[in-house]
Amino acid sequence: MVHILLKNMKKSILSGILPPLIIVLMIIMISGIWPSVKVHMATFADILENPVYEAMLGQLGLADISTFQGFLSIEIFTMLEMTMIFITMLIPARMITSEVDKRTLDITISYPITRWRLILEKFGAYLIYNLLYPILLITTTIIANEILNEDINYTLLSYAAIGSWLLFFALGAISLLCGAVFLEGKKAIAAAAGIILGMWVLVRFSGFVEELDFLKYMSLFHYLNAAVIFNAGKMPLDELFIVIGVGLAALISALIIFEKRELTIV
């Protein structure tokens, strides 16, 4: 029933597990240096109030770096955001185009299942591996925090981690849509990179110019931000629905396009 899903999970085991493990190592490292640096964090907190730093960090600059929760959210979720950009613009776009580039599309579409289900199972493997980010992030942070005996709201941490996974979903669905539209690796990755990096730049650029502040609402990176969730003390439901809605729209569009379009088998 899920042969393609299992096949792709086995095929992507290294690329699926390694990035979340790097995030875990970062949490361990940050937790290790926190007792030594926390006495200096109040000074750094004043520096981060500079508009330039706030624009560079985006909404993560809202975190209170003088607390372990704020320090961790800036360091980890900034790294997670960079990882997200790299993974989402490369991996989902290649789920379809790699078959075209390697000229194995005829074998792929010969499976006794519909095209849309084949791609959905491939995308499912991507989503399952990305679940490692919130799972390992939450687990490692809880263990580290219990050792450090600092004050972290685990509920809000869970919200922030889930928000990151939903962004992996929405941005990945956009990248998958690029693959379904262009069916060529270089073009699909270029389109996905243009959209995803463009949205990231919109958030950062809008922070420098107050008159362009409205541009941030056009970027998915503006939504479900970890620092905003920590400061608000709740999951922003309006942002939750926006991210899920965009992700579902992009995913459904990708499945329909790949299912309906005529494919030239070389």
Query: What confidence tens digit (pLDDT) does each residue in 217-264 have?
Result: 999 999 998 888 988 899 999 999 999 999 999 999 999 999 887 765
Q: Do 188 and 182 meet the contact criterion of CB atoms below 8 Å apart?
A: yes
* Residue 73 dihedral angles phi and psi, to the nearest 5°: -65, -40
What is the predicted pLDDT for the residue at 159?
A: 96
Beta carbons within 10 angstroms of residue 131's beta carbon = 15
What is the predicted pLDDT for the residue at 38?
A: 83
What is the predicted pLDDT for the residue at 266?
A: 47
DSSP code for 218: G
Query: pTM for the complete prediction?
Result: 0.91
